[in-house]
Structure 1
Amino acid sequence: MTINYTKLEYFKNLTAEDIPDTPVAWLHSLSASTVIDFVQSDDLPWRVITTLLHGNEPSGFYAIHKLIKESAFSELSVNVRIVLGSIEAAQYKPEFTQRYLTDGMDINRCFGSNSLSQYYLRAQMLASSIRQVEPEAIVDLHNTSGDSPAFGVSCHQSHQHLSLTGLFCQSMIISHIRLGALMEQDFGCPVVTIECGGATKDSSHHLTYKGIVRYLNCEDKSNEELAFQVEVIYHPMRVRVVGNTSLAFANEAASYASVTLRADIEEVNFINNINGMHIGWVDANGLSNLELEEPQLHGKISDYFAVQDGKLVGDADLRIFMATSRTDIALNDCLFYIAKHQAI
């Protein structure tokens, strides 16, 4: 697939008649990353929605399609800019199954770079399109890598960040991790990522739709507008396999894999405490198959997990989130995140 990294498609004030009847047909009508403006008046503030940075996370795209068909972007008290990221990855059949193209890069690891090559250039162009309108808020819509309750992520904890998250869901993770994500960039306004739940769940699509409606119509993003009270979780940590360690998902230890996670590992997401919980198996190399990113900040993997008769078990008061049973994501990104639970 040939990709024009310098191309952004622009549309303004799309109506129901301007787009195809189904999200998939609309997706295939697009030829590049896309910016859609809904302009009410030049003197009104802007709010930005970004979505489809990952091609296999379609809830935001589905919701926007539905809202355009319902004429929901007319007669608002704000202007809205919508940014659609990885169109080509989303179009790869079966649609909405590729996080990014096999020979491509995860664009949500490319923001904030000075490189002008390929996906880094595209990330710069998407970021520039956001800065151009000087928005008062940005919501970046994703789906979780596996089945999971919805949650928000931000680099900052403030009244506005909590309020934006509370338009969509009940939990917010405050992250110090820097991966090159859009959320980490300084746009001069609050930015939150909303992980809207599993990508194939109707409940995720509905949650996203209702959250966008609240976001479009709330006047000042204050606590009075919150649909949910927000619980805060601090300092997430990424757990990865070491090097070329092999991985499987099964109901028992797989003989061909150094690490086997439970086939139902996604059901562990957001369980209050995994201390003592069996989450998988490891071979004779034990915990040396796993690593914790930034150990100088967080300690060793053995501070959080233990091996008991070949079984991998939690060994601290933790939550797991973003656990996935997709081998490609687990190996190329991370197995899952962990965090100590603290609520305010």
Structure 2
Amino acid sequence: MLEQYNELPEGFLNAKAENLHRILDKPSLIHLKGKEPEPLFISTLLHGNETTGLYAIQKLLRSYQNGNLPRSISIFVGNVKAAEAGVRRLDEQVDYNRVWPGTHQQYLAEAHMMQQVTDIMQQMNVWASIDIHNNTGKNPHYACINKLEQSFLSLAGLFSETLVYFTTPKGVQSSAFAELCPAVTLECGLSGEKSGIDHVLHYLQSVLSCEKLSECADMNLNLFHTVARVKIPEGYSFGFEDDATINLLPEIEDYNFCELDKGTVLALVEPESSAYLQAFDDDEREVGREFFEYSEEKIVLKRPVMPAMLTMDTQVIRQDCLCYLMERISMPTL
């Protein structure tokens, strides 16, 4: 399933995400040599409608067309078929950011491909890893890490003062590469926005200029830990128009990265429906009763939390989740 290149395929630098399949007809790993041999790994389009990473990488490489890269780069371009359709993933596909080493779905062909990519980069002595994503809801730009270590905090802190530490879901790219090198996931706001593309471009330039990551970032950071992943049970209809079993509040996206009080209303439910929200902790236990309570046909918070990735995109909610719940934590003593 994997194609490898040792130079940029013709037309790559100017291709739109929806046309990239004409240049790369399958997931591809592109190796480019730079002055420092240990490569920076960058992954993009693990979700086909999250295009900021692709366009930032194109701008970065165009700026080096007449000069050598400061460091070698290996670029993994993921779900080109979903990018053609402008969706996160096709209905018949798995999520390309749930099948990396550590996944519960290691038997899948896609998992074998991601294992191959990981093995290749381990053999190349990968220096650092950056996985670039977008949100579908209103969120600030922030960075996510899987280990609370100096080099991880530094790599993430170069992008944002807002950091999220997480250990689930399993099978994500950054978690797999965290066993090899400092790794980060960038969440860059809405797909394709110029502000997000420029932010990622500046970030990649900054990382490429670093010799030691521990010396590159200001550590005045706000750190949060994800404590639950929230899903809507398959058996219930949901929406925003007061015509479903679970009717989420239309302003729910405004709750992202706000520290919400106990009693905050998240949704209205049909009378006598017994509808509820599920929440899964780091051990994949269902812990919804710890976070939500139900009264007067409303779903309300049972304790203070901060949500992230709340969206009004119903397809994304079904394919992935409604949101993550977080709590502020102290910076580790390093």
- Residue 202 of structure 2 is aligned to residue 215 of structure 1: no
Of 2, 5, 24, 1:7 maps to 2
Report whether the alignment pairs 1:66 with 2:53: no
In 2, the alpha carbon distance for the partners of 1:117 and 1:216 equals 34
Q: Which moved more, 1:21-30 or 1:196-205?
A: 21-30
Give the alignment partner of residue 292 of structure 1, picking from 270, 273, 279: 279
CA contact under 8 A between 1:275 and 1:317: conserved in structure 2?
A: yes
Higher deviation after alignment, 330-339 or 304-313: 304-313
Q: Is the 8 A contact 1:274 1:320 kept in 2?
A: no
CA contact 2:127–2:182 (8 Å) conserved in 1: yes
Output the amino acid matched with 2:193: K
Closer/same/farther in 2, CA of residues 259 and 73 from structure 1, 3 Å limit = farther
CA RMSD of aligned residues (A): 2.7
- Superposition map of 1:117-156 within 5 A: 117-156=108-147
Deviation readout 1:233-254 (Å, 9 max, x if unpaired):
124310111232111023xxx2
User: Structure 1, residues 151-200: CA drift from partner, whole Å, max 9, x if none?
Assistant: 22222101111111111112121112142111221542111111112214
Whole-angstrom distance in 1 between the partners of 2:325 and 2:171: 20
Q: Does 1:167 align with 2:161?
A: no
Structure 2: which amino acid aligns with 1:55?
Answer: G
Equivalent pair of 2:174/2:185 in contact (CA under 8 Å): yes
Structure 2 residue 88 is the aligned partner of structure 1 residue 99: yes
Per-residue deviation, 1:141: 0.9
- The normalised TM-score by structure 1 is 0.85
1:267 to 240, 254, 270: 254
Structure 1 distance, partners of 2:305, 2:273, is: 20
Distance, in Å, in 1 between the alignment partners of 2:98 and 2:285 is 22
The structure-2 alpha-carbon separation of the partners of 1:287 and 1:128, relative to structure 1 and needing over 3 Å to count, comes to farther
Q: Classify the secondary structure of the residue corresponding to 2:324.
A: strand
Aligned to 2:190: 198
Identity percentage of aligned residues: 24
Deviations 1:275-307 (A, max 9, x none): 333222122357752111149787842332233
Amino acid at match of 1:293: F
Whether the aligned pair in 2 keeps the contact of 1:38 and 1:73 (CA below 8 Å) is: no
Matched, 1:322 2:309: yes
Q: Deviations over 1:219-263 (max 9, x none)?
A: 2112x422673211124310111232111023xxx23x1211122
Higher alpha-carbon deviation: 172-181 or 280-289: 280-289
Contact (CA 8 Å) 2:306, 2:325: kept in 1 or not?
Answer: yes
The 1:296–1:217 alpha-carbon spacing in structure 2 relative to 1, beyond 3 Å, is closer
**What CA distance in whole angstroms lies between the structure 1 residues aligned with 2:237 and 2:69?**
51
What is the CA–CA distance in structure 1 between the aligned matches of 2:322 and 2:235, rounded to whole Å?
A: 13
Q: Match of 1:3?
A: none
Cα distance in 2 for partners of 1:101, 1:283 equals: 31
Q: Is the 8 A contact 1:165 1:230 kept in 2?
A: no
1:303 aligned to 263, 284, 290, which one?
290
Shift of 1:115: 4.2
Identify unmatched segments of 5+ residues in structure 2. none
